[in-house]
Amino acid sequence: MNPLKAPLNETEIRQSVSVVRREAGLDASAWFETISLDESGQFPSQRGAYVCCYEPVSNRTLAGIVLFESDELRGWHHIEGAQARILPDEFEMACELARKHEGFLQALKKRGLDDASKVLVESWSAGNFGSDEEQNQRIAYGHCWLMNDAGDNPYARPIANLHPVFDLAAREIIRVDDFGVVPIPPDPGPVRRPQQRQDLKEISITQPDGPSFEVDGYHVKWHDWELQIGFAQRDGLVLYDIGFNDGGRLRPIMKRAAMAEMVVPYGDPRAANFRRNAFDTGEYGIGVSLDSLTLGCDCLGYIRYFDIWTHDWQGEPRLIKNAVCMHEEDFGIQWKYSVPSADQTTVTRSRRLVVSSIATIGNYVYGFFWYFYMDGGIGVEVKATGIPFPSALEGGKPSPYGRTIGNQIESHVHQHVFSFRFDMALDGERNSVSEINFSAAPVGDDNPHGNAILTEETRFETELQAQREINARSSRYWRVLNPTVHNRYGDPVAYKLLPGANSFPFQHPDSSMGRRAAFMYKHLWVTPQVADEMYPAGWFPNQHAGGDGLPKWTAADRAIDNESIVVWHTLNYHHWPRPEDWPVQPVVYASFHWMPDGFFDENPTMDVPHR
Protein backbone atom coordinates (compact mmCIF):
# COMPACT_ATOMS: atom_id res chain seq x y z
CA MET A 1 0.00 0.00 0.00
CA ASN A 2 1.13 3.54 -0.75
CA PRO A 3 0.55 5.33 2.59
CA LEU A 4 0.70 8.75 0.92
CA LYS A 5 -2.54 7.95 -0.94
CA ALA A 6 -4.53 6.38 1.88
CA PRO A 7 -7.68 8.23 3.00
CA LEU A 8 -7.32 10.48 6.02
CA ASN A 9 -7.93 8.92 9.40
CA GLU A 10 -9.59 10.37 12.50
CA THR A 11 -6.31 11.55 14.04
CA GLU A 12 -5.25 13.37 10.87
CA ILE A 13 -8.60 15.17 10.60
CA ARG A 14 -8.32 16.32 14.20
CA GLN A 15 -4.74 17.47 13.66
CA SER A 16 -5.81 19.43 10.56
CA VAL A 17 -8.51 21.23 12.52
CA SER A 18 -6.11 22.01 15.34
CA VAL A 19 -3.42 23.44 13.05
CA VAL A 20 -5.87 25.62 11.11
CA ARG A 21 -7.54 26.91 14.26
CA ARG A 22 -4.09 27.72 15.64
CA GLU A 23 -2.43 29.29 12.62
CA ALA A 24 -5.02 30.56 10.12
CA GLY A 25 -6.28 33.55 12.11
CA LEU A 26 -9.90 32.72 11.38
CA ASP A 27 -12.91 34.24 13.06
CA ALA A 28 -14.68 31.95 15.53
CA SER A 29 -17.61 31.70 13.09
CA ALA A 30 -15.48 29.94 10.45
CA TRP A 31 -16.28 26.34 9.55
CA PHE A 32 -14.64 23.54 7.57
CA GLU A 33 -15.84 22.82 4.05
CA THR A 34 -13.21 20.20 3.21
CA ILE A 35 -10.50 18.29 5.03
CA SER A 36 -9.21 15.80 2.49
CA LEU A 37 -6.01 14.17 1.30
CA ASP A 38 -3.59 16.68 -0.22
CA GLU A 39 -3.13 15.83 -3.91
CA SER A 40 -1.56 19.13 -4.96
CA GLY A 41 1.85 17.59 -5.69
CA GLN A 42 3.54 20.48 -3.86
CA PHE A 43 4.88 18.14 -1.17
CA PRO A 44 5.29 14.80 -3.00
CA SER A 45 7.09 12.93 -0.20
CA GLN A 46 4.96 14.23 2.68
CA ARG A 47 1.48 13.30 3.80
CA GLY A 48 -0.87 16.19 4.32
CA ALA A 49 -4.43 17.46 4.08
CA TYR A 50 -6.06 20.01 1.81
CA VAL A 51 -8.21 22.19 4.06
CA CYS A 52 -10.86 24.64 2.86
CA CYS A 53 -12.77 26.88 5.27
CA TYR A 54 -15.57 29.37 4.99
CA GLU A 55 -15.69 32.46 7.22
CA PRO A 56 -19.26 33.81 7.37
CA VAL A 57 -18.40 37.12 9.04
CA SER A 58 -16.25 38.13 6.04
CA ASN A 59 -17.95 35.97 3.37
CA ARG A 60 -14.53 34.56 2.49
CA THR A 61 -13.46 31.11 1.32
CA LEU A 62 -9.90 30.19 2.30
CA ALA A 63 -7.69 27.16 1.71
CA GLY A 64 -4.25 25.72 2.38
CA ILE A 65 -2.35 22.55 3.19
CA VAL A 66 -1.63 21.02 6.59
CA LEU A 67 1.55 18.92 6.71
CA PHE A 68 1.27 16.23 9.35
CA GLU A 69 4.90 15.47 10.14
CA SER A 70 5.87 19.12 10.70
CA ASP A 71 2.44 20.06 12.11
CA GLU A 72 2.28 23.26 10.08
CA LEU A 73 -0.03 25.14 7.75
CA ARG A 74 1.33 26.01 4.30
CA GLY A 75 -0.01 28.25 1.54
CA TRP A 76 -3.05 29.54 3.42
CA HIS A 77 -4.85 32.07 1.22
CA HIS A 78 -8.14 33.76 0.45
CA ILE A 79 -9.74 32.59 -2.81
CA GLU A 80 -11.21 35.71 -4.36
CA GLY A 81 -14.82 35.43 -5.51
CA ALA A 82 -15.23 31.81 -4.42
CA GLN A 83 -18.12 30.36 -2.45
CA ALA A 84 -17.52 27.15 -0.53
CA ARG A 85 -19.75 24.14 -1.06
CA ILE A 86 -23.12 24.01 0.75
CA LEU A 87 -22.73 21.42 3.49
CA PRO A 88 -25.33 19.06 5.01
CA ASP A 89 -25.07 21.12 8.20
CA GLU A 90 -26.18 24.21 6.26
CA PHE A 91 -29.10 22.27 4.78
CA GLU A 92 -30.29 21.42 8.29
CA MET A 93 -29.72 24.96 9.55
CA ALA A 94 -31.62 26.52 6.66
CA CYS A 95 -34.58 24.16 7.07
CA GLU A 96 -34.86 25.12 10.73
CA LEU A 97 -34.63 28.83 9.85
CA ALA A 98 -37.58 28.46 7.50
CA ARG A 99 -39.68 26.56 10.04
CA LYS A 100 -39.39 29.54 12.40
CA HIS A 101 -39.71 32.38 9.90
CA GLU A 102 -42.99 34.29 10.19
CA GLY A 103 -43.28 35.12 6.51
CA PHE A 104 -42.71 31.50 5.55
CA LEU A 105 -45.21 30.27 8.15
CA GLN A 106 -47.81 32.66 6.77
CA ALA A 107 -47.20 31.29 3.28
CA LEU A 108 -47.75 27.77 4.62
CA LYS A 109 -51.04 28.83 6.26
CA LYS A 110 -52.24 30.14 2.88
CA ARG A 111 -51.87 26.53 1.75
CA GLY A 112 -53.65 25.10 4.79
CA LEU A 113 -50.49 23.94 6.53
CA ASP A 114 -50.11 24.62 10.26
CA ASP A 115 -47.34 22.18 11.23
CA ALA A 116 -44.02 23.35 9.81
CA SER A 117 -42.19 20.41 11.40
CA LYS A 118 -43.55 18.19 8.62
CA VAL A 119 -42.25 20.50 5.90
CA LEU A 120 -38.88 19.81 4.30
CA VAL A 121 -37.02 22.85 2.97
CA GLU A 122 -33.88 22.16 0.97
CA SER A 123 -31.49 25.05 0.42
CA TRP A 124 -30.19 24.49 -3.11
CA SER A 125 -27.44 26.57 -4.58
CA ALA A 126 -28.98 29.60 -6.27
CA GLY A 127 -26.65 29.42 -9.27
CA ASN A 128 -25.64 32.67 -10.89
CA PHE A 129 -28.11 34.68 -12.95
CA GLY A 130 -26.45 38.08 -12.58
CA SER A 131 -28.30 39.50 -9.57
CA ASP A 132 -26.43 41.63 -7.01
CA GLU A 133 -27.27 39.30 -4.15
CA GLU A 134 -25.61 36.39 -5.97
CA GLN A 135 -22.39 38.38 -6.24
CA ASN A 136 -22.24 39.71 -2.69
CA GLN A 137 -24.02 37.20 -0.47
CA ARG A 138 -23.99 33.46 0.15
CA ILE A 139 -27.36 32.72 -1.41
CA ALA A 140 -29.37 29.52 -1.38
CA TYR A 141 -32.78 28.98 -2.91
CA GLY A 142 -35.29 26.86 -1.02
CA HIS A 143 -37.57 24.15 -2.40
CA CYS A 144 -40.36 22.74 -0.24
CA TRP A 145 -42.26 19.47 0.29
CA LEU A 146 -44.67 18.04 2.85
CA MET A 147 -43.86 14.70 4.50
CA ASN A 148 -46.29 11.83 3.95
CA ASP A 149 -48.28 10.60 6.94
CA ALA A 150 -46.21 7.42 7.16
CA GLY A 151 -43.09 9.54 7.76
CA ASP A 152 -40.93 7.68 5.21
CA ASN A 153 -41.07 10.06 2.24
CA PRO A 154 -40.18 13.72 2.87
CA TYR A 155 -40.71 14.47 -0.86
CA ALA A 156 -44.19 12.94 -0.99
CA ARG A 157 -46.25 16.11 -1.36
CA PRO A 158 -44.58 18.99 -3.20
CA ILE A 159 -45.40 22.54 -2.12
CA ALA A 160 -45.24 24.32 -5.46
CA ASN A 161 -44.24 27.95 -6.03
CA LEU A 162 -42.96 28.55 -2.48
CA HIS A 163 -39.26 29.38 -2.14
CA PRO A 164 -37.56 30.91 0.91
CA VAL A 165 -34.35 32.66 -0.15
CA PHE A 166 -31.44 32.34 2.30
CA ASP A 167 -28.32 34.29 3.06
CA LEU A 168 -26.46 31.36 4.56
CA ALA A 169 -23.59 33.52 5.83
CA ALA A 170 -25.94 35.73 7.84
CA ARG A 171 -28.10 32.71 8.71
CA GLU A 172 -31.28 34.49 7.75
CA ILE A 173 -34.08 34.46 5.21
CA ILE A 174 -33.86 37.58 3.06
CA ARG A 175 -37.24 37.08 1.39
CA VAL A 176 -39.89 34.49 0.55
CA ASP A 177 -40.71 34.09 -3.13
CA ASP A 178 -44.33 33.02 -3.47
CA PHE A 179 -45.57 32.60 -7.04
CA GLY A 180 -49.09 31.55 -6.09
CA VAL A 181 -50.89 28.76 -4.29
CA VAL A 182 -51.12 25.41 -6.04
CA PRO A 183 -53.13 22.57 -4.44
CA ILE A 184 -50.88 20.20 -2.51
CA PRO A 185 -51.11 16.66 -3.91
CA PRO A 186 -52.77 14.00 -1.74
CA ASP A 187 -50.75 11.65 0.42
CA PRO A 188 -49.40 8.85 -1.83
CA GLY A 189 -49.09 6.41 1.06
CA PRO A 190 -45.98 4.81 2.51
CA VAL A 191 -42.82 3.93 0.62
CA ARG A 192 -42.36 0.90 2.85
CA ARG A 193 -45.51 -0.98 1.88
CA PRO A 194 -46.92 -3.27 4.59
CA GLN A 195 -47.89 -5.95 2.08
CA GLN A 196 -44.75 -7.69 0.80
CA ARG A 197 -44.81 -10.57 -1.65
CA GLN A 198 -43.75 -13.98 -0.35
CA ASP A 199 -42.95 -15.89 -3.54
CA LEU A 200 -39.31 -14.82 -4.02
CA LYS A 201 -36.86 -17.53 -2.98
CA GLU A 202 -33.56 -16.57 -1.38
CA ILE A 203 -30.46 -16.34 -3.55
CA SER A 204 -27.41 -17.38 -1.60
CA ILE A 205 -23.92 -16.56 -2.87
CA THR A 206 -21.09 -18.47 -1.21
CA GLN A 207 -17.34 -18.74 -1.66
CA PRO A 208 -16.33 -21.67 0.55
CA ASP A 209 -12.64 -21.12 -0.16
CA GLY A 210 -12.86 -17.38 0.42
CA PRO A 211 -12.37 -14.59 -2.10
CA SER A 212 -9.66 -14.44 -4.74
CA PHE A 213 -8.62 -10.91 -3.78
CA GLU A 214 -5.93 -9.88 -1.31
CA VAL A 215 -6.09 -6.66 0.70
CA ASP A 216 -3.24 -4.79 2.38
CA GLY A 217 -4.73 -1.71 4.01
CA TYR A 218 -6.28 -0.02 0.97
CA HIS A 219 -4.19 -1.86 -1.62
CA VAL A 220 -5.98 -4.60 -3.57
CA LYS A 221 -4.74 -7.52 -5.66
CA TRP A 222 -7.23 -9.57 -7.66
CA HIS A 223 -6.59 -11.90 -10.58
CA ASP A 224 -3.94 -9.89 -12.48
CA TRP A 225 -5.20 -6.50 -11.28
CA GLU A 226 -3.66 -4.20 -8.68
CA LEU A 227 -5.14 -0.93 -7.44
CA GLN A 228 -5.51 1.19 -4.34
CA ILE A 229 -8.80 2.38 -2.82
CA GLY A 230 -8.92 6.09 -2.07
CA PHE A 231 -11.37 8.75 -0.99
CA ALA A 232 -11.95 12.49 -1.29
CA GLN A 233 -14.56 14.54 0.54
CA ARG A 234 -15.70 16.01 -2.75
CA ASP A 235 -15.15 13.22 -5.30
CA GLY A 236 -16.10 10.30 -3.07
CA LEU A 237 -14.53 7.02 -4.20
CA VAL A 238 -11.12 7.43 -5.88
CA LEU A 239 -8.97 4.68 -7.39
CA TYR A 240 -5.19 4.98 -7.57
CA ASP A 241 -2.37 3.17 -9.36
CA ILE A 242 -4.47 0.84 -11.50
CA GLY A 243 -2.27 -1.76 -13.16
CA PHE A 244 -2.34 -5.24 -14.71
CA ASN A 245 0.18 -8.03 -14.14
CA ASP A 246 1.12 -9.34 -17.57
CA GLY A 247 3.47 -12.30 -17.48
CA GLY A 248 4.89 -11.27 -14.11
CA ARG A 249 5.28 -7.59 -15.04
CA LEU A 250 2.97 -4.98 -13.50
CA ARG A 251 1.92 -2.69 -16.33
CA PRO A 252 0.48 0.67 -15.24
CA ILE A 253 -2.75 1.89 -16.85
CA MET A 254 -4.04 4.80 -14.74
CA LYS A 255 -2.59 6.79 -11.87
CA ARG A 256 -5.93 8.14 -10.66
CA ALA A 257 -9.55 7.61 -11.65
CA ALA A 258 -12.63 9.29 -10.20
CA MET A 259 -15.94 10.93 -10.96
CA ALA A 260 -14.94 14.61 -10.94
CA GLU A 261 -18.29 16.37 -11.36
CA MET A 262 -21.98 15.66 -11.61
CA VAL A 263 -24.49 18.27 -12.70
CA VAL A 264 -28.26 17.90 -12.99
CA PRO A 265 -29.86 20.65 -15.15
CA TYR A 266 -33.67 20.80 -15.20
CA GLY A 267 -35.73 21.94 -18.16
CA ASP A 268 -38.59 23.98 -16.64
CA PRO A 269 -38.19 27.77 -17.18
CA ARG A 270 -41.28 28.89 -15.20
CA ALA A 271 -41.38 30.90 -11.95
CA ALA A 272 -38.33 29.86 -9.90
CA ASN A 273 -37.92 26.44 -11.48
CA PHE A 274 -35.16 27.74 -13.76
CA ARG A 275 -32.90 27.67 -10.69
CA ARG A 276 -33.11 23.88 -10.39
CA ASN A 277 -29.56 23.13 -11.45
CA ALA A 278 -27.38 21.13 -9.11
CA PHE A 279 -23.63 20.53 -9.22
CA ASP A 280 -23.88 17.58 -6.87
CA THR A 281 -20.09 17.21 -6.63
CA GLY A 282 -18.89 20.80 -6.73
CA GLU A 283 -21.75 22.46 -4.82
CA TYR A 284 -22.48 19.74 -2.25
CA GLY A 285 -19.96 16.90 -2.36
CA ILE A 286 -20.24 13.17 -3.06
CA GLY A 287 -17.88 11.94 -0.34
CA VAL A 288 -19.76 13.56 2.52
CA SER A 289 -22.99 11.97 1.23
CA LEU A 290 -21.87 8.33 1.09
CA ASP A 291 -24.18 5.76 2.63
CA SER A 292 -23.15 3.18 5.17
CA LEU A 293 -23.72 -0.02 3.19
CA THR A 294 -25.55 -3.02 4.58
CA LEU A 295 -24.67 -6.64 3.86
CA GLY A 296 -27.47 -8.50 2.11
CA CYS A 297 -29.13 -5.26 0.93
CA ASP A 298 -26.62 -3.00 -0.79
CA CYS A 299 -24.01 -5.73 -1.22
CA LEU A 300 -24.49 -9.47 -1.65
CA GLY A 301 -21.97 -12.28 -1.26
CA TYR A 302 -18.50 -12.33 0.28
CA ILE A 303 -17.91 -8.63 0.92
CA ARG A 304 -14.85 -6.63 1.93
CA TYR A 305 -15.84 -3.23 3.27
CA PHE A 306 -13.71 -0.14 3.69
CA ASP A 307 -14.60 2.41 6.37
CA ILE A 308 -14.07 6.10 5.61
CA TRP A 309 -13.57 9.10 7.88
CA THR A 310 -15.24 12.37 6.95
CA HIS A 311 -16.20 15.38 9.12
CA ASP A 312 -18.91 17.91 9.93
CA TRP A 313 -18.62 21.67 9.48
CA GLN A 314 -16.91 22.13 12.84
CA GLY A 315 -14.25 19.66 11.73
CA GLU A 316 -15.47 16.94 14.06
CA PRO A 317 -14.57 13.56 12.51
CA ARG A 318 -17.44 11.33 11.41
CA LEU A 319 -16.99 7.67 10.56
CA ILE A 320 -18.91 6.18 7.63
CA LYS A 321 -18.88 2.45 8.29
CA ASN A 322 -18.86 0.27 5.18
CA ALA A 323 -18.58 3.28 2.87
CA VAL A 324 -16.94 1.28 0.07
CA CYS A 325 -17.95 -2.24 -0.89
CA MET A 326 -15.72 -4.71 -2.76
CA HIS A 327 -16.58 -8.17 -3.96
CA GLU A 328 -16.12 -10.48 -6.92
CA GLU A 329 -18.98 -11.90 -8.90
CA ASP A 330 -19.55 -14.45 -11.61
CA PHE A 331 -20.18 -12.76 -14.96
CA GLY A 332 -21.20 -15.58 -17.23
CA ILE A 333 -19.11 -16.91 -20.12
CA GLN A 334 -15.59 -15.56 -20.57
CA TRP A 335 -15.02 -17.29 -23.88
CA LYS A 336 -16.27 -20.39 -25.64
CA TYR A 337 -15.35 -22.37 -28.71
CA SER A 338 -16.98 -25.48 -30.13
CA VAL A 339 -15.83 -28.04 -32.72
CA PRO A 340 -19.03 -29.92 -33.53
CA SER A 341 -17.31 -32.43 -35.78
CA ALA A 342 -15.11 -33.53 -32.89
CA ASP A 343 -17.94 -33.24 -30.34
CA GLN A 344 -15.68 -30.85 -28.44
CA THR A 345 -16.65 -27.70 -26.53
CA THR A 346 -14.35 -25.49 -24.49
CA VAL A 347 -15.85 -22.83 -22.23
CA THR A 348 -14.44 -20.63 -19.47
CA ARG A 349 -16.29 -18.65 -16.83
CA SER A 350 -15.88 -14.90 -16.44
CA ARG A 351 -15.81 -13.04 -13.18
CA ARG A 352 -15.22 -9.44 -12.25
CA LEU A 353 -14.08 -7.43 -9.27
CA VAL A 354 -16.63 -4.84 -8.19
CA VAL A 355 -15.66 -1.73 -6.20
CA SER A 356 -18.60 0.51 -5.35
CA SER A 357 -20.07 3.22 -3.18
CA ILE A 358 -23.54 4.73 -2.91
CA ALA A 359 -24.40 8.35 -2.15
CA THR A 360 -27.75 9.80 -1.11
CA ILE A 361 -27.97 13.41 -2.28
CA GLY A 362 -31.37 14.84 -1.43
CA ASN A 363 -34.07 13.08 -3.40
CA TYR A 364 -31.70 11.02 -5.57
CA VAL A 365 -29.50 8.04 -4.73
CA TYR A 366 -26.48 7.26 -6.90
CA GLY A 367 -24.41 4.10 -6.98
CA PHE A 368 -20.92 4.41 -8.44
CA PHE A 369 -19.60 1.06 -9.63
CA TRP A 370 -16.17 0.19 -11.00
CA TYR A 371 -15.76 -3.22 -12.66
CA PHE A 372 -12.45 -4.93 -13.35
CA TYR A 373 -12.60 -7.83 -15.79
CA MET A 374 -10.26 -10.75 -16.26
CA ASP A 375 -9.59 -9.77 -19.89
CA GLY A 376 -8.22 -6.36 -18.86
CA GLY A 377 -11.45 -4.41 -19.36
CA ILE A 378 -12.62 -1.71 -16.95
CA GLY A 379 -16.31 -0.87 -16.67
CA VAL A 380 -17.69 2.32 -15.14
CA GLU A 381 -21.38 2.41 -14.26
CA VAL A 382 -23.71 4.79 -12.45
CA LYS A 383 -26.90 3.37 -10.98
CA ALA A 384 -29.52 6.03 -10.24
CA THR A 385 -32.52 5.50 -7.99
CA GLY A 386 -34.37 7.51 -5.35
CA ILE A 387 -37.19 9.95 -6.09
CA PRO A 388 -37.38 12.11 -9.24
CA PHE A 389 -37.88 15.76 -8.26
CA PRO A 390 -41.70 15.93 -7.74
CA SER A 391 -43.74 19.07 -8.42
CA ALA A 392 -47.45 19.72 -7.98
CA LEU A 393 -49.63 19.94 -11.07
CA GLU A 394 -50.88 23.43 -11.82
CA GLY A 395 -54.39 23.59 -13.25
CA GLY A 396 -54.74 19.83 -12.99
CA LYS A 397 -52.54 19.05 -15.98
CA PRO A 398 -48.79 18.71 -16.58
CA SER A 399 -46.73 21.57 -17.92
CA PRO A 400 -45.00 21.39 -21.33
CA TYR A 401 -41.81 20.57 -19.42
CA GLY A 402 -43.09 17.74 -17.23
CA ARG A 403 -45.06 14.54 -17.17
CA THR A 404 -47.62 13.21 -14.72
CA ILE A 405 -46.02 10.52 -12.60
CA GLY A 406 -48.43 10.41 -9.62
CA ASN A 407 -51.73 11.73 -8.34
CA GLN A 408 -51.51 15.50 -9.05
CA ILE A 409 -47.73 15.19 -9.31
CA GLU A 410 -45.49 15.88 -12.26
CA SER A 411 -41.74 15.61 -12.66
CA HIS A 412 -39.79 17.72 -15.13
CA VAL A 413 -37.41 16.70 -17.87
CA HIS A 414 -33.79 16.84 -16.76
CA GLN A 415 -30.38 15.28 -17.33
CA HIS A 416 -27.75 13.69 -15.11
CA VAL A 417 -24.36 14.68 -16.52
CA PHE A 418 -21.24 13.02 -15.10
CA SER A 419 -17.64 13.96 -15.81
CA PHE A 420 -15.08 11.24 -15.17
CA ARG A 421 -11.40 12.12 -14.90
CA PHE A 422 -8.63 9.62 -15.76
CA ASP A 423 -4.99 10.42 -15.06
CA MET A 424 -3.43 8.09 -17.63
CA ALA A 425 -0.15 6.21 -17.37
CA LEU A 426 -0.46 3.50 -20.02
CA ASP A 427 2.84 1.60 -19.86
CA GLY A 428 4.52 4.85 -18.85
CA GLU A 429 4.04 8.52 -18.07
CA ARG A 430 3.68 9.80 -21.64
CA ASN A 431 0.60 8.89 -23.68
CA SER A 432 -1.35 10.06 -26.71
CA VAL A 433 -5.00 9.96 -27.76
CA SER A 434 -6.52 9.16 -31.14
CA GLU A 435 -10.03 8.92 -32.56
CA ILE A 436 -11.38 6.05 -34.65
CA ASN A 437 -14.16 6.60 -37.17
CA PHE A 438 -15.68 4.18 -39.69
CA SER A 439 -17.38 5.01 -42.94
CA ALA A 440 -18.82 3.31 -46.02
CA ALA A 441 -16.45 3.38 -48.97
CA PRO A 442 -17.93 4.78 -52.17
CA VAL A 443 -18.83 2.23 -54.81
CA GLY A 444 -16.16 2.10 -57.48
CA ASP A 445 -13.40 -0.01 -58.94
CA ASP A 446 -12.01 -0.71 -55.46
CA ASN A 447 -15.48 -1.44 -54.06
CA PRO A 448 -17.62 -2.88 -56.85
CA HIS A 449 -20.03 -4.67 -54.47
CA GLY A 450 -20.51 -1.74 -52.05
CA ASN A 451 -19.48 -3.67 -48.99
CA ALA A 452 -16.18 -1.98 -48.09
CA ILE A 453 -15.82 -0.23 -44.73
CA LEU A 454 -13.09 2.36 -44.25
CA THR A 455 -11.32 3.03 -40.96
CA GLU A 456 -9.80 6.40 -40.17
CA GLU A 457 -7.59 7.08 -37.14
CA THR A 458 -6.79 10.67 -36.18
CA ARG A 459 -4.19 11.39 -33.52
CA PHE A 460 -4.69 14.56 -31.51
CA GLU A 461 -1.79 16.95 -31.09
CA THR A 462 -3.38 19.70 -28.97
CA GLU A 463 -6.25 20.22 -26.55
CA LEU A 464 -8.66 21.95 -28.92
CA GLN A 465 -8.38 19.09 -31.41
CA ALA A 466 -9.38 16.67 -28.65
CA GLN A 467 -12.70 18.31 -27.75
CA ARG A 468 -14.94 15.70 -29.29
CA GLU A 469 -18.50 14.37 -29.34
CA ILE A 470 -19.92 10.88 -29.64
CA ASN A 471 -21.02 9.76 -33.11
CA ALA A 472 -23.02 6.57 -33.51
CA ARG A 473 -23.10 7.08 -37.27
CA SER A 474 -19.34 6.50 -37.50
CA SER A 475 -19.13 4.04 -34.55
CA ARG A 476 -16.69 6.50 -33.00
CA TYR A 477 -14.45 5.65 -30.09
CA TRP A 478 -11.16 6.93 -28.70
CA ARG A 479 -7.83 5.25 -28.01
CA VAL A 480 -5.22 6.10 -25.39
CA LEU A 481 -1.91 4.80 -26.63
CA ASN A 482 1.75 4.81 -25.72
CA PRO A 483 3.62 5.75 -28.91
CA THR A 484 6.94 4.47 -27.56
CA VAL A 485 5.81 0.98 -26.47
CA HIS A 486 4.73 -1.56 -29.07
CA ASN A 487 3.05 -4.93 -29.00
CA ARG A 488 4.19 -8.05 -30.81
CA TYR A 489 2.82 -6.76 -34.09
CA GLY A 490 4.61 -3.43 -34.00
CA ASP A 491 1.57 -1.33 -33.04
CA PRO A 492 1.54 1.09 -30.09
CA VAL A 493 -0.07 -0.47 -27.03
CA ALA A 494 -3.46 1.05 -26.35
CA TYR A 495 -6.75 1.03 -24.46
CA LYS A 496 -9.95 2.22 -26.09
CA LEU A 497 -12.62 4.32 -24.43
CA LEU A 498 -15.91 2.91 -25.64
CA PRO A 499 -18.92 5.18 -24.93
CA GLY A 500 -22.18 3.68 -23.79
CA ALA A 501 -25.67 5.14 -24.04
CA ASN A 502 -25.23 8.90 -23.91
CA SER A 503 -26.91 12.17 -24.83
CA PHE A 504 -26.31 15.85 -25.55
CA PRO A 505 -27.24 18.85 -23.38
CA PHE A 506 -30.26 20.95 -24.35
CA GLN A 507 -29.37 24.05 -22.35
CA HIS A 508 -28.30 26.96 -24.55
CA PRO A 509 -24.50 27.39 -24.37
CA ASP A 510 -24.99 31.06 -23.42
CA SER A 511 -27.43 30.23 -20.62
CA SER A 512 -26.28 30.46 -17.03
CA MET A 513 -26.09 26.68 -16.81
CA GLY A 514 -24.39 26.42 -20.18
CA ARG A 515 -21.62 28.77 -19.09
CA ARG A 516 -21.17 27.15 -15.68
CA ALA A 517 -21.16 23.55 -16.93
CA ALA A 518 -19.57 24.09 -20.33
CA PHE A 519 -17.73 20.77 -20.04
CA MET A 520 -20.99 18.94 -20.78
CA TYR A 521 -21.00 20.04 -24.44
CA LYS A 522 -18.14 17.66 -25.28
CA HIS A 523 -17.94 13.96 -24.48
CA LEU A 524 -14.15 13.88 -24.66
CA TRP A 525 -11.57 16.33 -23.36
CA VAL A 526 -7.84 15.71 -23.11
CA THR A 527 -5.53 17.93 -21.07
CA PRO A 528 -1.93 17.85 -19.89
CA GLN A 529 -1.55 16.52 -16.37
CA VAL A 530 -1.60 19.56 -14.04
CA ALA A 531 -2.07 18.92 -10.33
CA ASP A 532 -4.65 21.62 -9.62
CA GLU A 533 -6.78 20.94 -12.71
CA MET A 534 -9.04 18.49 -10.92
CA TYR A 535 -12.61 19.55 -11.63
CA PRO A 536 -14.16 20.25 -15.05
CA ALA A 537 -16.22 23.24 -13.88
CA GLY A 538 -13.48 24.57 -11.62
CA TRP A 539 -12.90 24.20 -7.90
CA PHE A 540 -15.76 26.44 -6.78
CA PRO A 541 -18.84 26.29 -9.04
CA ASN A 542 -21.19 27.44 -6.24
CA GLN A 543 -22.60 30.83 -7.43
CA HIS A 544 -19.81 31.05 -10.02
CA ALA A 545 -20.69 32.91 -13.21
CA GLY A 546 -19.06 30.24 -15.39
CA GLY A 547 -16.17 29.84 -17.77
CA ASP A 548 -13.91 28.05 -15.31
CA GLY A 549 -12.46 24.56 -15.57
CA LEU A 550 -11.98 22.76 -18.86
CA PRO A 551 -12.98 25.62 -21.20
CA LYS A 552 -10.57 27.97 -19.45
CA TRP A 553 -7.64 25.56 -19.29
CA THR A 554 -7.95 24.25 -22.84
CA ALA A 555 -8.09 27.74 -24.36
CA ALA A 556 -4.27 27.63 -24.22
CA ASP A 557 -4.42 24.70 -26.68
CA ARG A 558 -1.52 22.93 -25.00
CA ALA A 559 0.31 19.94 -26.46
CA ILE A 560 -1.12 16.53 -25.53
CA ASP A 561 0.69 14.18 -27.93
CA ASN A 562 3.21 11.93 -26.16
CA GLU A 563 2.70 13.89 -22.95
CA SER A 564 1.53 13.18 -19.41
CA ILE A 565 -2.20 13.49 -20.01
CA VAL A 566 -5.62 13.42 -18.38
CA VAL A 567 -8.63 12.04 -20.23
CA TRP A 568 -12.09 13.36 -19.32
CA HIS A 569 -15.27 11.56 -20.39
CA THR A 570 -18.76 13.08 -20.16
CA LEU A 571 -21.62 10.65 -19.52
CA ASN A 572 -25.10 12.16 -19.98
CA TYR A 573 -28.22 10.29 -18.84
CA HIS A 574 -31.33 11.99 -20.21
CA HIS A 575 -34.35 11.54 -17.93
CA TRP A 576 -37.97 12.06 -18.95
CA PRO A 577 -39.67 10.74 -15.80
CA ARG A 578 -42.44 8.16 -16.08
CA PRO A 579 -45.18 6.88 -13.74
CA GLU A 580 -43.05 3.81 -12.99
CA ASP A 581 -40.51 6.16 -11.34
CA TRP A 582 -43.01 6.99 -8.56
CA PRO A 583 -42.96 6.85 -5.60
CA VAL A 584 -39.40 5.49 -5.84
CA GLN A 585 -37.54 5.08 -9.11
CA PRO A 586 -36.24 1.62 -10.07
CA VAL A 587 -32.53 1.71 -10.78
CA VAL A 588 -31.54 3.06 -14.18
CA TYR A 589 -28.07 2.52 -15.59
CA ALA A 590 -25.52 4.65 -17.41
CA SER A 591 -22.10 3.26 -18.26
CA PHE A 592 -19.03 3.13 -20.49
CA HIS A 593 -15.99 0.88 -20.80
CA TRP A 594 -12.24 0.89 -21.16
CA MET A 595 -11.04 -2.07 -23.23
CA PRO A 596 -7.51 -3.22 -24.08
CA ASP A 597 -6.94 -2.47 -27.76
CA GLY A 598 -3.56 -3.93 -28.69
CA PHE A 599 -2.35 -3.67 -25.11
CA PHE A 600 -1.89 -7.45 -24.98
CA ASP A 601 -0.43 -9.76 -27.62
CA GLU A 602 -3.34 -12.18 -27.32
CA ASN A 603 -6.44 -12.90 -25.25
CA PRO A 604 -5.10 -12.60 -21.67
CA THR A 605 -7.64 -15.10 -20.31
CA MET A 606 -6.35 -18.17 -22.17
CA ASP A 607 -5.06 -19.50 -18.83
CA VAL A 608 -8.48 -19.35 -17.13
CA PRO A 609 -9.58 -22.92 -16.24
CA HIS A 610 -11.90 -24.36 -18.87
CA ARG A 611 -14.67 -26.87 -18.65
Biggest CA–CA distance in the chain, Å, is 85
Half-sphere exposure of 508 (CA within 13 A, CB side): 5
Return the HEC string of 24-77: CCCCCCCEEEEEEECCCCCCCCCCEEEEEEEECCCCEEEEEEEECCCCEEEEEE
Distance of CA 480 to the CA centre of its chain: 22
Over the Cα atoms of the chain, what is R_g? Answer: 26
- Spatial separation of the C-alpha atoms in residues 372 and 355, rounded to whole Å: 8
Active-site annotation holder among 268, 280, 423, 561:
280
- What residues form DSSP beta bridges with 141? 124, 165
Q: Is 364 assigned a catalytic role?
A: yes
The side-by-side arrangement of strands in the sheet containing 48-55 is 31-37, 48-55, 60-67, 72-78
Residues for the chain: how many in total? 611
CB atoms within 10 A of CB 116: 17
**520: nearest Cα among 529, 528, 512, 509:** 509
CB atoms within 10 A of CB 522: 20
- What residues form DSSP beta bridges with 280? none
- Spatial separation of the C-alpha atoms in residues 249 and 600, rounded to whole Å: 12
- Spatial separation of the C-alpha atoms in residues 169 and 140, rounded to whole Å: 10
Residues 254, 421 contacting (CB under 8 angstroms): no
Active-site annotation holder among 364, 371, 495, 535:
364
**198 burial type by CB count under 10 A (0-12 exposed, 13-18 middle, 19+ buried):** exposed
**Reduced DSSP (H G I as helix, E B as strand, rest coil) percent helix, strand, coil of the chain, to 5:** 15, 45, 40
Residues 269, 413 contacting (CB under 8 angstroms): no
Q: Is 601 assigned a catalytic role?
A: no
Question: 583 preceded by cis ω (within 30°)?
Answer: yes
Enzyme catalytic residues: 280, 364
